[in-house]
Amino acid sequence: MADDGFVTVSDFREGDRLSKDHLNETKDSWKSVDSEVGELNIREEGLDRRMFDTDNTWNDFFGSTSRCQQGATIDSNWMPLSDGIWEPIPFWVPSPYDTVTGGIHDHYARIQFDWNPQIHTYVIFRASFRFRWDVGLMGGSGYDPGDIDDDDNFVSNRDKVFVQFGIQVSRPGGSLSDDLHIHSFNFTNGRIFAPTQLGLSYNYSSDCTGAYSAIGHKFDRRTAMTSSITMVAAGQSWQNSDEPLTNSNHAIDFRNAGPVKAQLVWRQYGSNSDRQCTIDGSDAWGRVYPEYGNMQFFAQTFMR
């Protein structure tokens, strides 16, 4: 009889009488193998590409809602950006009308997929877009007109300004309205991962050091700031002694099943009124609205 997928053929010997039982035992052995083919029956390195011939094996499981993109440049002077409050990043342009492609929302980088720990082991979120913010003239900075005879009369009233970005990921079956805080050691319930920041110190265009009339002669270093904003976060469905601990290492805990939503969020430091200010004696704006766009945001899964 078969044992763990192996066939045992009756022992035929020359001169012995051949009976039906001999043949039927062999048949039974083959038949019992039919539902017992396992790892011992598969030759090492025996499964090549031809064996995996169905979409069930190679399927792009998460589908089009798990990824989104946007190819336009957004001049956000029409868009509110609240002070210190996390909110989804709008990635659409009213004129000429351009929206987010893919995902589950036309205006925001927001994706969704069904997570099943029986099938999925790891997921990686990747997001990247470009961002430019010209805060170079924000706040007064330069010479003190009331103290022009002093070689060291540079005054800096620049404000500290920065923007933070993150990937917000819901719990499986949870909502994007839950725990809109950065996930950290001190706040493990936070659902914003991979936070990154872009900003300028208010001391950046302050006085230079060095000898008078050399490079240190009060050169002004006002500038805009630009960057690729790129964030990567990962989740996993299992945990044992060989794997990172989801409770303490801040890998996203995906041990439970359910639909998962994720979106790109941001917040700024500074008040709304700071986003635009006039400079005395100048027609220039002190701080202009962000220009950003050219976005890709998607989840990649690794099945068991």
Contact set for other proteins, span 119-138 (CB under 8 A): 126-128, 130, 132, 134, 136-137
- Site membership for other proteins, residue 152 (CB under 8 A): no
Closer of 11 and 48 to other proteins (Cβ): 48
Task: Return the range that interacts with other proteins (CB under 8 A); candidates 75-83, 161-169, 177-185, 275-283.
Answer: 275-283
Segment 91 to 120, residues that bind other proteins, using CB under 8 A: 117-118
Closest alpha carbon to 138 in 227, 266, 224, 76: 224
Closer of 42 and 79 to other proteins (Cβ): 42
CA distance 159 to 201: 8
What letters, b where the CB count within 10 A reaches 16 and e where it falls short, cover 194-232?
bbeebbbebebbbbeeeeeeeeeebeeebeebebebebe
Residue 7 tokens, joined? 């066939």
Burial class (CB in 10 A: 0-12, 13-18, 19+), 10: middle
CA distance 233 to 166: 10
Residues 260, 252 contacting (CB under 8 angstroms)? no
Segment 157 to 196, residues that bind other proteins, using CB under 8 A: none
CA distance 245 to 252: 10
Closer of 24 and 82 to other proteins (Cβ): 24
Closer of 83 and 144 to other proteins (Cβ): 144
- Site membership for other proteins, residue 211 (CB under 8 A): no
Residues 68, 100 contacting (CB under 8 angstroms)? yes
Segment 230 to 249, residues that bind other proteins, using CB under 8 A: 230, 237-240, 243
Minimum CB separation of residue 127 from other proteins in Å reads: 7
Options 157, 203, 256, 272; binder of other proteins; rule CB under 8 A: 256
Closer of 52 and 187 to other proteins (Cβ): 52
- Site membership for other proteins, residue 13 (CB under 8 A): no
Residues 250, 235 contacting (CB under 8 angstroms)? no
Task: Return the range that interacts with other proteins (CB under 8 A); candidates 82-90, 162-170, 221-229, 263-271.
Answer: 221-229
